[in-house]
Structure 1
Amino acid sequence: METVIMGASARTSHAQVVGELGKAIVSGQFPVGSILPGDGELAMRFKVSRTVLREAMKTLAAKGLIVPRARIGTRVTEKSQWNLFDNDILTWHFNGGVDEEFLYHLSEIRLAFEPHAAELAARNATEAEISNMMRLAVAMGDENHSAETLAGADLKFHIAVLEASGNPFMRTVGGLIEAALVGVFKLSSPVEDKSGIAEISRNHIRIVEQISRRDEPAARAAMEHVIRVGRERVREAFRQDEGSRA
């Protein structure tokens, strides 16, 4: 989240090559089906050794972005092969700018996972976990939040729900949730409207209240409401942007 919102990034040689090539592929600078420049040219471009370059290429291949072909070169794969659950790939999408459809798809994935996680949390969460989730939900109501700190507080809450579900697989979707929240807050953060911050906090407190009551259907519904509200805020931001350009 810090990388996307604040522009911070790792500066190791390996990370630099992976990041710059990854962004170039996701943005379409190297289109699907195209062949990347040769190792010698890329090593000179990034001022790294061939060893560093090869390791970077292995990383990009593991993410599904490229595939080496003997006597042909390294080809950019079809988008259907990209691992969209990968945090880096999601970050590169946001760096290049995302459209409403992309964020809508993210919200659909959230609706597939998070309401069930809230339902499981109502069944499995310990009292300590419930107390922690309530603390995080209340903290979201701090009127001094910036867009960045509110996004961070929101993420901590949703990760806490995933962990309280008791299902270890749920935590692996955290990267998708992070990407979705970054998208929501970059497009339309409610920090200028103090009542908006208070409403977000209340909606999240309601999730914890239902979890605390062990009311599984109500916990699911409360989480669905939070995700749908965020999705509508994104839609409204796109509508306003289109109106300003008309």
Structure 2
Amino acid sequence: MLGVKSRNLGTVPAAKGGATSTSGGGGGMTAWELRPCGMLVQKRNSDVNQSQNVVPTIKVKVKYCSSYHEITIKSQATFGELKKMLAGRTGLNPLDQKLVYKDKERDSKSYLDVAGVKDGSRMMLFIDVMRQEKRLVEDLKSAKMDKAKLSLMEITSEIDKLAKEVGNLEREIYGGKKVNEKVLLNLIELLMSQLIKLDGIVGDGDVKLQRRMQVKRVQKFIENLDLLKIQNSKVGISKSNISFEQKLVSSMEKQRDSMKWPLVVTTEWEKF
């Protein structure tokens, strides 16, 4: 049988198609494996100690008010993960939780095993009132901001529709077509109502900037409609003036024709 010699391991017999183990100079057992090329090498530590790398599961008891909650969790988990599990039991937001272990509040990023938490350990859960109030204020502010954004989007959509109507009126009036003045006045009124809605939107940052842009946009449309009212009135006057002038010229021509009398000679002049 073929043998492999090592300075520390002595003679290691090769097993057919498998791994063998032998004792070294220190008397410990060493695991070996036979590679496909025929080389006998020592097994990797990850394979040898695979069973040793398994993270144990522990049970901890957490007291919240007058109730106890037993939680099964990995020993290498964080206190933040434990808070998430407690949220399902207590209904308390993890951000509002204060976990105390061994008379010390534990940070959410800290690990249980590092803090010394073991199977059967006990800890206390409290409500962080200040943190809860701060979070509620921030949530309320965020909700108002979302509502303002939604309202702004709806108003912008209405302004876009009115902008198309303004554009249609501009093409008609500047094209020489007279429109009903009530149409212009109604459109101005609708734009004014959008200004009132924009005035009721309160927000910071991007919402404030978008609101200001829409206000300027509506004001510009109203100015254009005021100019269209003037132009529309000119279109009506010019047409009536042309009609009046045509009638006046026709009437004068008729009068002139009626004043043409035949020429009558009443005196006979002496002829030389």
- Structure showing the higher strand proportion among its residues: 2
Task: Please identify the structure whose Cα radius of gyration is greater.
Answer: 2
- Structure showing the higher helix proportion among its residues: 1
TM-score of Structure 1 vs Structure 2, range by shorter chain? under 0.3
- TM-score (ref. length: structure 2): 0.21
- TM-score (ref. length: structure 1): 0.23
